[in-house]
Amino acid sequence: MPESWEWTTIGKLCSFLSRGKSPKYSEERKYPVFAQKCNMYDGDISLEKARFLDPETISKWSDEYKLIGGDILVNSTGTGTVGRTRLFHSDVLGDYPFVVPDSHVSVVRTFKEIESKFVQAFLSSDYGQTYIEDNLAGSTNQKELYIGILDNMLFPLPPQEEQLRIVTAIDKWFSLINVLESAKGNLQTSIAQVKSKILDLAIHGKLVPQDPNDEPAIEVLKRINPKFTPCDNAHKRNQIPDSWIWCTLQDTFKITMGSSPTGDTLNREKLGIEFHQGKVFFSNKYILPSDIYSTQPVKLAEPLSIILCVRAPVGTVNITDRQICIGRGLCSLIPSKSIDLQYAYYVMQTCSEELEQKATGSTFKAIGGDVVKNQIIPLPPINEQRRIVAKIEELFAVLDEIQKSIEV
């Protein structure tokens, strides 16, 4: 510690150091009571969730309990919130005449010669929070910060001018941090938008150059299905290269709509195949092996097929790496030889919003099998699909690295 500083205790810096009182509440919204939830998680304070004092009990509260600007408010009860420290400012009062603290909040009111912002910064520091945590009393779920702990807490006191310089520096750096946090949020939004734009360019043939040696997509589809007829999609005809083709999902996938098992088919023992309902996630319910081959067999999705949500959230897609049972909230799309699995996964992501708009229903939104079968997608030559996938994954990898760096 610098020679001009002095060790003291928090108590010796205070003109008032006390926990609040247990109030008698009233429905009359005139005299708010500052509770722990008023010390907000995001660093500010608010009276939005405050309860209100019974006007008949005002005389029991001396003036020193009425909070003033610069008071340091420390949550003093309860695991998870105890030790949270905020600075009171009179702006929060609005039209209220005053506010008093309840018994779960401690008030640290320093002398005028002491910069309360500096004391609040000390209490909020790793050192201050560790000291508080190490000196709590009570059970695991009901930790208590007794006022004596704050009173006797050792404190390194700089000269007043240096306190001011430190507070100024803290304000400067915290302002910069807030700007960076805002920029971080904007950057995350931008990353999502860039990924969406990459997919949009990909499905319109603008992400990678075309190769004139590629076999046109229509030839592949006709070889697989001689009766294939291209979609009449005149309004989109000029949006894709000549070697591409507009087709429906039923032209390029084997589609299996899910159906939920009933009766005794659900079994919590891991004897069979995992059961999915509504969303793309792995459930802890399983299907008995005998039910897979019953007269009304459950619906299965094969490994390396696309799983599409046909109930809320409609349009969500994933790829399953194992055989699974699919409930009626899902369908399985097995790609034909005309479509690369990863390209299919990316193109289905671009269909998500369109499928969601086609959903109907009152209790919950859903799409039927006909909507899935007739959903139109752009299909490039198979080799171009693979080049598109490689380019998407190259660009997404860069964006994912940026995402990781701002999450550190």
pLDDT digits (tens, 9 = 90+) for 181-206: 888 888 888 999 999 999 999 999 99
Tens-digit pLDDT profile for residues 289-341:
555 555 556 788 888 999 999 987 899 999 988 888 888 889 999 999 999 99
Flag whether pLDDT at 236 surpasses 90.
no
What sign for the dihedral angle of Cα 156, 162, 164, 167? negative
**In the chain, what percentage of residues exceed pLDDT 90?**
66
pLDDT-derived band at 281, boundaries 50, 70, 90: very low
Residue 164: inside a domain = no
Domain that holds residue 91: 6-158
Query: Are 145 and 232 within one domain?
Result: no
CA 108 vs CA 16, 82, 207, 289, 374: distances in Å: 6, 15, 61, 67, 68
Instruction: Say which amino acid occupies 53.
Output: L
Q: Do 124 and 28 reside in the same domain of the chain?
A: yes
State whether 242 and 108 are in the same domain.
no
Domain count, the chain: 2
The answer to whether residue 165 sits within a structural domain is no
Q: Compute the average pLDDT of residues 159-180.
A: 90
Residue 122 lies in a domain: yes
74-109: pLDDT as tens digits: 999 987 889 999 999 989 999 999 999 999 999 999
For residues 256 and 362, state if they share a domain.
yes
Residue 285 in any domain: the answer is yes
pTM above 0.75, yes or no: no
Residue 141 domain-assigned? yes
Q: 110: which strand partners?
A: 14
Q: Are 99 and 29 in contact (CB under 8 A)?
A: no
Task: Identify the band that residue 155 occupies on the pLDDT scale cut at 50, 70 and 90.
Answer: very high
- Co-location of 232 and 373 in the same domain: yes
The better pLDDT of the pair 272, 375 is held by 375
- CA angle centred on 235, ends 234 and 239, rounded to 5°: 100
Q: What is the domain-level CATH number for residue 103?
A: 3.90.220.20
What distance in Å separates the CA atoms of residue 292 and residue 300, rounded to the nearest whole number? 8
Residue burial 191-220, b: 16+ Cβ < 10 Å; e: rest? beeebeebbebbbebebbeeeeebebbbeb
CA distances from 76 to 12, 19, 21, 84, 125 (A): 20, 8, 12, 8, 17
Asked whether residue 150 falls in the same domain as residue 226, the answer is no
Please check whether residues 224 and 143 belong to one and the same domain: no
401 lies in some domain:
no
Strand (E) or helix (H) holding 34: strand 32-34
Q: Is 202 helix (H, G, I), strand (E, B) or coil?
A: helix
User: Domain check: are 231 and 366 in the same one?
Assistant: yes
Residue 264 predicted with pLDDT over 60: no
Question: Residue 101: is the preceding peptide bond cis (ω within 30°)?
Answer: no
Domain for residue 367, yes or no? yes
Q: What is the mean pLDDT of the chain?
A: 87
Claim to verify: residue 147 and residue 236 sit in the same structural domain: no
